[in-house]
Structure 1
């Protein structure tokens, strides 16, 4: 119960203005690729939500000149079914991220890089041990298997 409370506080509660979080952007185009952290100052809102919003927004011009990129923001399209780009819930060490808009696949390499940056960005928080990333339809993001549950079960 204590872990659940701590995780909920981390994801949803306000933080002091100026709290630092890391956002992990891709560097290069390997599969799944190298990720590099950059620091952002979170305003007065949930740090996990803020970090993901920054990942979607992408690197600054100076960070792009250093070779950093994010393929996620350009792949999010259509109407939201929750009023935002995503929802996030952290329970018992698992962060469940569900996109509320459609996230288009970008090929095997691009998809792997997107998932890797999400995973690294969320696992910076002590209460997150596992990340489950779901598409708007509730299936594991980019999972083309019949079941669509590989991110939940850990099997392809």
Structure 2
């Protein structure tokens, strides 16, 4: 009976929640100020969950506090990977590749999008650098010939 009771307790006890921060814009400057809000991930994929929440945007209460995200409404079209994005962290570099088209929102909006993504991913101790790629595998919003400035640090 004791084993049955223990098994029942384990079955209904939720897995320990993982809290993450999601950084939303607080103004319309370049690259803009950000503020963190806390979310609870239902699984161990906390970095993926944090990006999903960034795309989802702030709650109504958070919007009333002046927080906003320009990212979610700018993601459009068909996915080439079955999701909005792919995320890998290798040797301290988080590479976020969008599988749908991310429309630019002007220099300010683009800078704010990239800033919120970077701040959200850099909260994790394993992430030292963030690379954001578009569907075309070029650095997001990089209009240079090579499109690799986010990878190499040079235009």
- SS of 1:28 mapped into structure 2: coil
Counterpart contact for 2:87–2:96, Cα < 8 Å: yes
Equivalenced residues, count = 141
Asked which structure has the greater CA Rg, the reply is: 2
Counterpart contact for 1:17–1:41, Cα < 8 Å: no
Query: What TM-score do you get using the length of structure 2 for normalisation?
Result: 0.89
Counterpart contact for 1:19–1:43, Cα < 8 Å: yes
Could you list the structure 1 runs, at least 4 aligned residues long, displaced by more than 4 angstroms after superposition.
none
Q: Distance in 1 between matches of 2:90 and 2:77?
A: 28
1 or 2 for the larger relative contact order (CA 8 Å, sep ≥6)?
Answer: 1
- For residues 110-121 of structure 1, the aligned pairs below 5 Å read 110-121=109-120
Counterpart contact for 1:17–1:42, Cα < 8 Å: no
Runs (5+) with no aligned partner, structure 2: 1-14
Q: Distance in 2 between matches of 1:77 and 1:44?
A: 26
Residues 88-144 of structure 1 deviation map (CA, whole Å, 9 limit, x = unaligned) = 000000000000000000000000000000000000000000000000000000000
Q: Is 1:96 equivalent to 2:82 in the alignment?
A: no
Partner of 1:86: 85
Runs (5+) with no aligned partner, structure 1: 1-15
